[in-house]
Amino acid sequence: MKRDVTNILVAGVGGQGVILVSDIMADTFLEAGYDVKKSEVHGMAQRGGSVSSHVRYGKEVHSPIIPKGEADYLFMTEKLETLRWLEYCNRSTVILMDPIEINPPAVNLGEMFYPKDIEEFLKDHFDRVYTINATETALELGNARAANIVLLGALSRLLDLDERVWIKCILDRLPEKLHELNMEAFKKGRLAI
Amino acid sequence: MKKVLSGNEAIARGAWEAGVVFAAAYPGTPSSEILENLATYKEIKAEWATNEKDALLAAAGAAMVGARAMASMKHVGVNVAADPLMTLSYTGIEGGLVLVTADDPEMHSSQNEQDNRHYARFAKVPMLEPSSSQEAKDFTKLAFEISEEFDTPVILRSVTRISHSKGVVELGERKELERDYGLVIKEDKYTMLPAFARERHRVVEERFRRLKEFAETFPQNRMEMRDTSVGIITSGIAYQYAKEVFPECSFLKLGMVWPLPERLIGEFISKVDKVYVIEELDPFLEENIRAMGYRVDVGKDRIPICGELSPTIIAEALKEGYKREEISYPNPIPPRPPNMCPGCPHRGVFYVLKKLKLFVHGDIGCYTLGALSPLKALHTTVCMGSSVGLGEGTTQVLGKEGLGKVVCVVGESTFLHSGVTPLMNMVYNKSNATVIVLNNWTTAMTGAQEHPGSGYTAKGEKTFAVNYVELAKALGVKAENAREVNPYRLDELEKVIREEVNKDETSFIVTKDAPCALLRRAIKSYNKPLRVDEETCTGCRQCLELGCPALSWDISKAGEYRTADGKVKKRKGAAAINPLLCNGCGLCYQVCKFDAIKGEEEEVPIGFEINKYI
């Protein structure tokens, strides 16, 4: 399929700011002069369930959904969620992952185990895996909710876009009282890669 | 100026630019954000209606005085609005009238995946289908022009991947319509007595003939000629997927999916060697094209009818030699389904219903999740208001045998939408059913929209709020059978439910002082997280039966615990409470028989401190 499009799959758990961070990405790519599309599912999926967003940019984007096997980046705000999106990946997909573990209900109820070998598995199957302690970093800054912006800082180092465009688009999406925190979070993320 | 907009934002923007002054909707995924966005424009009177039929009628009433008006709803909402739709096709309009249907292929948040393109054919009205956010805006404006040119309601069809996808949109300005709004008296057009309606049906057929001609030259039905060995006929989101997979092929992209441009389709087919019809859900285009006498080489024989399409599905079905690298994790991956939130006021109700072993007719809302493990206390869900409607027939047949066995559980927004008339029906026909209305002060599942019981309008103005007990009494429920109960107080809740289900009369219970735990306007403060006393937790797992995301099972705590009288016993693990998720609703505290769940203070609060604005 068409390869002049960059595909970023963003996923995590409801409440982690998956949709917000993918909105910031889309704004940034538009601001940088690209065509951009993104797709996600709202509604029932929000209630503590898995949340994902497909973000695509390039000269011209048709489908808002990433074809399977063609994700260039997996942007994962929770470790286990990474495993749900493997069919969208190929060996050269770049994995960015917060190693935080949030137990799904079956693990909470003691019916299933949270897999312990995720990082090892990813390192065996992908050329580039970045584990970014985003939640931990955000907590040090005073608010775990800025973890998505830490991870975004890391992603921004891998994409060829002007840092100032990222910063403008982050600030445009957030209330002023959160600007300082998120700028710090973004910088920490940039230093993490 | 360009902006990244969702399909829903783009539809709202298009309506605003088209000069719309009135809009009505009932929330439903994936359509809800259309009206939420319309409500942000000061020029538009945007309303949450009680249900989709009321929304469409309100919009039609606005159109009858010359205004441009829009009604938006999810696909199954059109079923509710179908009654006026079929006859509004006959009456036509004064000002433009557009009905937006947002279909949900794949049923991301729906009870079926009906293909609402059939409604255009059924109602004999035109339907436009955008394939991107830009087209969502442009087609909304075109829909109003077509509506006024042809004196007909127009349906704009979106799907989840249009409504909830985002893309780049060039913004335009609003064009105020230079017209006066006023009452129009044309009985033969708007009073559908049989004699007038017979005449109007002829008008509809003549209009349909003109619309078919219009479709032939409508610029949004366009051929994109490239390699002619394969020609693809498609529309909407399927166009984008097909374009992704077959960029080299020729396309006939239909912006208007009803009526279809017969000559244009014939011309396209004559130019290509093989014809593929690529569409999501039903073979709507395919069957109509075949009925025209044209050949279709590939259609639903190879493309799935069930579920939504994607570039991958199309490539797998149609692209020769398609294969991709497969990376898969070898062990089970724990699923992460949606769940009732920590502190959700519905949780305790389902805990009690399960304990009482009741058969539960359920309904549409967050509380449908009561069907899932570990609560597993909801046994039917069909459509909006189905709990009350089904409960009538069930209890009538079971009679006294069914006493103490059946309840109907419905959220208050759903109850107002279509539970009131079946409750009236129950009282009238002397059913012994019990209806439980879970009043959480908002339409929660779709993201907290207002309704006639919430006390606020779509524009955020204060307004009258329905009193549910008074309403039930007015419908004939006896005063002693119409009761309010706090759903966080499990003992009281159990007592009230037990009493009412055993009465041989229609009973009505409504929850009180229990707004949605996410409704920040209503919750004055959450409570401090509770904790498990590791000394005394017996590992009985009873609290886990609540299915609260904050509660988990910790096998690392296997070992010994101490009973109240000081004995040491063995356990396989202990419960744990995640302090980041727990907001101290107090349910698990009540459920624990061993006093092993503690609060910060001696007295553990039950429920939250709320702002009683209703």
- Map B34-86 to HEC letters: HHHHHCCCCCCEEEECCCHHHHHHHHHHHHHCCCCEEEEEEHHHHHHHHHHHH
Q: Are the CB atoms for A35 and A58 separated by under 8 Å?
A: yes
Under an 8 A CB cutoff, do A37 and B132 touch? yes
Under an 8 A CB cutoff, do A81 and B168 touch? no
Q: What are phi and psi of B488, to 5 degrees?
A: -85, -20
Under an 8 A CB cutoff, do A110 and B366 touch? no
Under an 8 A CB cutoff, do B166 and A37 touch? yes
Q: Helix or strand or coil: residue A133?
A: coil
Tell me how many degrees the CA angle B227-B230-B231 measures, rounded to the nearest 5: 95
B547 touches A: beta carbon within 8 Å: yes
C-alpha B126/C-alpha B145 separation (Å) is 12
Under an 8 A CB cutoff, do B315 and A83 touch? no
Which residues 6+ apart lie within 8 Å of A153 measured at CB?
Answer: A185, A186, A187, A188, A189, A190, A191, A192
- Is B327 inside any structural domain? no
- Is B340 inside any structural domain? no
Q: Minimal Cα–Cα distance from B255 to chain A, Å?
A: 16
Rg of chain B in Å (alpha carbons): 28
List CB contacts (< 8 A) between B329 and chain A. 83, 86, 115, 121
CB-closest option in B311, B328, B369 to A86? B328
Q: Which amino acid is at B528?
A: K
Q: Within chain B, which residues score under 70 in pLDDT?
A: none
Of B187, B217, B247, the last residue of a domain is: B217
Q: DSSP assignment of B304-349, as one string?
A: -SSS---HHHHHHHH-TT--------SS--------PPTT-TTHHH
Name the strand (E) or helix (H) holding B466: none
Q: Minimal Cα–Cα distance from B344 to chain A, Å?
A: 11
Under an 8 A CB cutoff, do A43 and B337 touch? no
> Is this prediction's pTM over 0.90?
yes
Which residues 6+ apart lie within 8 Å of A88 measured at CB?
Answer: A7, A9, A66, A68, A69, A70, A71, A74
Tokens standing for residue A94: 């770049």
Give the residue from chain B lying closest to A3, CA to CA: B244
How does strand A73-76 pair with strand A5-13?
A: parallel
Q: Are the CB atoms for A66 and A2 separated by under 8 Å?
A: no
Q: What is the pLDDT of residues B516-526, one digit of tens each?
A: 999 999 999 99
Q: Helix or strand or coil: residue B216?
A: helix
- Is B522 inside any structural domain? no
Which residues 6+ apart lie within 8 Å of B291 measured at CB?
Answer: none
Under an 8 A CB cutoff, do B544 and A104 touch? no
Q: Are the CB atoms for B432 and B402 separated by under 8 Å?
A: yes
Residue A41 confidence (pLDDT): 77
Under an 8 A CB cutoff, do B165 and A49 touch? no
Residue B268: count of CB within 10 angstroms of its CB? 23
Same domain, B204 and B269: no
- Is B480 inside any structural domain? yes
C-alpha B470/C-alpha B540 separation (Å) is 43
C-alpha B508/C-alpha B483 separation (Å) is 6
- Is B382 inside any structural domain? yes
Which residues 6+ apart lie within 8 Å of B82 measured at CB?
Answer: B119, B123
Q: What is the pLDDT of residues A104-144, one digit of tens each?
A: 989 988 899 999 999 999 999 999 999 999 999 999 999 99
Q: What is the pLDDT of residues A61-114, one digit of tens each?
A: 999 999 999 999 999 999 999 999 999 999 999 999 999 999 998 998 889 999
> Domain limits of chain A?
5-191
C-alpha B584/C-alpha B581 separation (Å) is 9
- Is B420 inside any structural domain? yes
C-alpha B472/C-alpha B508 separation (Å) is 7
- Is B614 inside any structural domain? no
Q: In terms of DSSP H, where are the helices of B444-539?
A: 468-474, 490-501
Under an 8 A CB cutoff, do B334 and A107 touch? yes
Of B202, B217, B232, the last residue of a domain is: B217
Measured in whole angstroms, how far is the alpha carbon of residue B344 from the centre of its chain?
20
Give the residue from chain A lying closest to B109, CA to CA: A44
pLDDT at A45 exceeding the cut of 80: no
Same domain, B241 and B310: yes
Helices and strands (H and E) in chain A: how many: 7, 6
C-alpha B308/C-alpha B326 separation (Å) is 22
Q: What's chain B's length in residues? A: 614
Name the strand (E) or helix (H) holding B177: none
Q: Look up the ipTM and state it.
A: 0.95
Same domain, B487 and B550: no
CB-closest option in B164, B243, B336 to A39? B164
Name the strand (E) or helix (H) holding A64: none
Name residue, tokens 């339409």: B443
List CB contacts (< 8 A) between B243 and chain A. 62-63
Rg of chain A in Å (alpha carbons): 16
C-alpha A58/C-alpha A66 separation (Å) is 13
Under an 8 A CB cutoff, do A104 and B336 touch? yes
CB-closest option in B312, B335, B552 to A108? B552
- Best mutation target among B110, B319, B327 (most A Cβ atoms within 10 Å) is B327
List CB contacts (< 8 A) between A59 and chain B. none
Residues 495-534 on B with a CB inside 8 Å of A are: none
CB-closest option in A47, A81, A91 to B340? A47
CB-closest option in B329, B447, B573 to A121? B329
How does strand B609-610 pair with strand B523-525?
A: antiparallel
The boundaries of the domain holding residue B25 are 2-217
Give the residue from chain B lying closest to A24, CA to CA: B4
C-alpha B225/C-alpha B238 separation (Å) is 18
Under an 8 A CB cutoff, do A84 and B340 touch? no
pLDDT at A2 exceeding the cut of 50: no
Residues 392-451 on B with a CB inside 8 Å of A are: 445-447
C-alpha B511/C-alpha B347 separation (Å) is 12
Measured in whole angstroms, how far is the alpha carbon of residue B381 from the centre of its chain?
13
Q: What is the pLDDT of residues B304-350, one digit of tens each?
A: 999 999 999 999 999 999 999 899 999 999 999 888 999 999 999 99
Give the residue from chain B lying closest to A1, CA to CA: B245
Q: Helix or strand or coil: residue B366?
A: helix
List CB contacts (< 8 A) between B341 and chain A. 47-48
CB-closest option in B3, B167, B340 to A37? B167
CATH number at residue B298: 3.40.50.920
Same domain, B192 and B271: no
CA atoms within 13 A on the CB side of B416: 26
Residue B396 confidence (pLDDT): 98
Under an 8 A CB cutoff, do A42 and B374 touch? no
Under an 8 A CB cutoff, do A42 and B4 touch? no
CB-closest option in A43, A48, A106 to B334? A106
Same domain, B155 and B204: yes
- Confidence band of A44 (pLDDT split at 50, 70, 90): low
* A5-191: CATH, from 3.40.1830.10, 3.40.50.920, 3.40.920.10, 3.40.50.720: 3.40.920.10
C-alpha B498/C-alpha B490 separation (Å) is 12
- Is B12 inside any structural domain? yes
* CB-count burial class (<10 Å; 0-12, 13-18, 19+) for B364: buried
C-alpha B107/C-alpha B159 separation (Å) is 11
Q: Which amino acid is at B608?
A: F
Q: Minimal Cα–Cα distance from A75 to chain B, Å?
A: 17
B307 touches A: beta carbon within 8 Å: no
Q: Minimal Cα–Cα distance from A167 to chain B, Å?
A: 17
- B189-216 burial, b at 16+ Cβ within 10 Å, e below that, comes to bbebeeebeeebeebbeebbeebbebbe
Residue A42 confidence (pLDDT): 66
Give the residue from chain A lying closest to B517, CA to CA: A47
* CB-count burial class (<10 Å; 0-12, 13-18, 19+) for B47: buried
What CA–CA distances, in Å, run from A122 to A94, A127, B87, B294?
Answer: 10, 9, 59, 51
List CB contacts (< 8 A) between A121 and chain B. 329
Of B217, B239, B255, the last residue of a domain is: B217
Q: Are the CB atoms for A57 and A5 separated by under 8 Å?
A: yes
- Long-range Cβ contacts of A110-117 (<8 Å, 24+ apart): A110/B544, A110/B552, A110/B553, A110/B555, A110/B573, A112/B332, A112/B334, A113/B334, A114/A80, A114/B334, A115/A80, A115/A83, A115/B329, A115/B331, A115/B333
Same domain, B429 and B292: no
Number of domains in chain B: 4
Residues 143-202 on B with a CB inside 8 Å of A are: 160-161, 164-168
Handedness of CA B532, B537, B541, B543 (dihedral sign): negative
Same domain, B385 and B417: yes
CATH number at residue B543: 3.30.70.20
Under an 8 A CB cutoff, do A110 and B555 touch? yes
Nearest CA to B396 out of B425, B365, B429, B422 is that of B429
List CB contacts (< 8 A) between B321 and chain A. none
Same domain, B254 and B396: no
Q: Are the CB atoms for A95 and A128 separated by under 8 Å?
A: yes
